């Protein structure tokens, strides 16, 4: 078996796949220069790749295509939302009637806002969808008795968690989103072998672990399909939480309102984060309630500079009926002070079903020790003091 990746021990070598998060890390670093040159350097990394090898060539984030023939990819295609085109517009500074004023509008001059759009869209949409694509591909391979099914299954967690994640939201891939959102929604109830606390990540790690075993056994199609339904449901939850959290933070009537310099308008950076999360959730919402999706899209638009998001409107879009139709339970999303825990009806989604997570609830985590913190180096003053004490002892001994 391979080396542990954030609590998961792959059966095959997926070290290179996990390194894709290092490209995200460098993209964020380049954008952090807040110059046109920095954004051009970030764009090159996005387009050509650097740190993760596919054979002898770097794999690029731009090459992680959305698969319209797969359950979640189809929802993005049906909604006509392309996160790749969006990221390209933000990095290049293009004006778009569909996406926003990234060349001449208010966001163009706010590098922090553009950074948030790219920083959130790449891992929480592009990489997350590609990670779940590996589950779909593994199912197909298993059904055709392709021995690569286990390796493909391992790739899900490698892409989802990444090489820099230790379990406590320290990385740059999709995994960290569930950990960070769990605090506000009180879904930080898990005790994972990697130190993580997100109930979503707990289910996804158990599902990954159980599925790896089933891909190496015979006649496991039913179990693997149930596990995939659990994963498709759970992976939707953190972006829905993010959409609701930033709806609350950008509504100037709430106690969490995030404004620029005391002005009674939402901070542009916070609106960018709102859009990044909600655009990730919109295809899922559109599939079950097109009217609610349109109301949400109108609330989070970046095209209109002076749009004031309404938490009440966005909150209403994620009703119990809509969550259940997406295959999600109310408890999966959780609650906070002004977002009450809803009451479930029936889960009615054929492709995604959180109730199927019961298949993996008893799965035992892999034996993956938590990373040990390196010993702190001795301070220069401590080293000097120790040297002086040693010298004094030597002089005293010589005088005796």
Instruction: Establish if 354 belongs to a structural domain.
Output: yes
Q: Average pLDDT, stretch 217-240?
A: 98
pLDDT tens profile 78-136: 999 999 999 998 998 876 666 665 655 555 457 888 999 999 999 999 999 999 999 99
Model pTM above 0.75: yes
State residue 1's pLDDT score. Answer: 74
What is the rounded CA–CA span in Å between residue 261 and residue 268?
A: 11
Q: Average pLDDT, stretch 267-294?
A: 94
Q: Average pLDDT, stretch 170-198?
A: 97
Q: Average pLDDT, stretch 252-267?
A: 64
Instruction: Establish if 399 belongs to a structural domain.
Output: no
| Of the candidates 127, 152, 158, the residue with the CA atom closest to the CA atom of residue 140 | 152
**Whether pLDDT at 242 is above 60:** yes
Q: Which domain holds residue 238?
A: 15-177+185-359
Instruction: Establish if 392 belongs to a structural domain.
Output: no
pLDDT tens profile 368-380: 977 654 334 443 4
State residue 41's pLDDT score. Answer: 97
Instruction: Establish if 1 belongs to a structural domain.
Output: no
State residue 267's pLDDT score. Answer: 74
Cβ atoms of residues 377 and 354 within 8 Å: no
pLDDT tens profile 41-83: 999 999 999 999 999 999 999 999 999 999 999 999 999 999 9
Please state the domain count of the chain: 1
Q: Mean pLDDT for the chain?
A: 89
Instruction: Establish if 241 belongs to a structural domain.
Output: yes
Instruction: Establish if 150 belongs to a structural domain.
Output: yes
Instruction: Establish if 270 belongs to a structural domain.
Output: yes
Instruction: Establish if 78 belongs to a structural domain.
Output: yes
């Amino acid at each position: 078996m391979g080396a542990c990746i954030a609590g998961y021990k792959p059966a095959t070598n997926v070290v290179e796949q996990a390194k894709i998060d290092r490209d995200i890390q460098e993209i964020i670093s380049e954008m952090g220069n807040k110059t046109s040159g920095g954004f051009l350097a970030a764009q090159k990394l996005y387009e050509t790749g650097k740190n993760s090898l596919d054979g002898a060539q770097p794999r690029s984030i731009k090459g992680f295509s959305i698969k319209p023939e797969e359950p979640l990819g189809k929802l993005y295609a049906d909604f006509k939302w392309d996160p790749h085109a969006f990221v390209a517009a933000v990095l290049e500074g293009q004006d778009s009637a569909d996406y926003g004023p990234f060349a001449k509008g208010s966001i163009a001059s706010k590098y922090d806002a553009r950074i948030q759009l790219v920083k959130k869209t790449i891992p929480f949409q592009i990489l997350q969808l590609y990670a779940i694509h590996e589950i779909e591909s593994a199912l197909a391979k298993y059904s055709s008795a392709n021995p690569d099914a286990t390796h493909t299954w391992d790739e899900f967690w490698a892409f989802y968690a990444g090489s820099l994640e230790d379990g406590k939201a320290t990385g740059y891939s999709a995994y960290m989103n569930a950990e960070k959102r769990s605090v506000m929604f009180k879904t930080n109830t898990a005790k994972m072998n990697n130190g993580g606390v997100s109930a979503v990540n707990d289910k996804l790690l158990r599902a990954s672990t159980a599925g790896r075993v089933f891909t190496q056994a015979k006649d496991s199609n039913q179990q693997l399909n149930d596990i995939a339904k659990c994963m498709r449901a759970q992976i939707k939850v953190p972006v829905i939480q993010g959409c609701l959290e930033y709806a609350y933070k950008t509504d100037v009537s709430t106690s969490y309102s995030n404004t620029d310099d005391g002005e009674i308008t939402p901070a542009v950076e916070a609106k960018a984060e709102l859009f990044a999360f909600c655009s990730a959730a919109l295809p899922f919402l559109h599939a079950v309630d097109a009217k609610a999706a349109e109301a949400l899209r109108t609330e989070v638009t970046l095209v209109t500079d002076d749009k004031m998001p309404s938490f009440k409107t966005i909150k209403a879009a994620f009703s119990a009926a809509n969550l259940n139709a997406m295959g999600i339970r109310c408890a999966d999303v959780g609650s906070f002070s002004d977002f009450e825990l809803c009451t479930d009806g029936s889960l009615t989604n054929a492709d995604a079903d959180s109730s199927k997570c019961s298949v993996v609830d008893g799965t035992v985590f892999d034996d993956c020790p938590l990373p040990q913190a390196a010993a702190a180096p001795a301070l220069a003053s401590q080293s000097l003091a120790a040297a002086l004490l040693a010298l004094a002892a030597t002089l005293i001994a010589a005088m005796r």
